[in-house]
Amino acid sequence: MKEIENNSLLKKLEKEASELGNKAFNNGIPRTPIYDDKLLQLFKKYELKVSEGATIFKAWLDSWDTSNLKEITMNEIKD
């Protein structure tokens, strides 16, 4: 396992988690990060502190929520 040593790596992981959250929504994965195997692989690969893990979960959730809101908005526009 790798330990997160700098802020730029954490930012990279946040971005990756955000992309995974969007993909998870589009693939029908519920709004529960632990159901996303690819996200869990990030946690296995790096030794994350609680604060780092929380940041990554938040990035995933924010992206999932944004994708959900976009879909709701698009459906309202169609109706």
Mean pLDDT of 52-65: 96
Given this model, what pLDDT does residue 46 score?
86
The predicted pLDDT at position 5 comes to: 63
Give the predicted TM-score (pTM) of the model: 0.85
pLDDT band per the 50, 70, 90 thresholds, residue 50: confident
Average pLDDT over every residue of 50-78: 90
Domain boundaries, the chain: 2-78
Continuous H helices in the chain: 7-26, 37-45, 50-78
Alpha-carbon span 54 to 40, nearest angstrom:
13
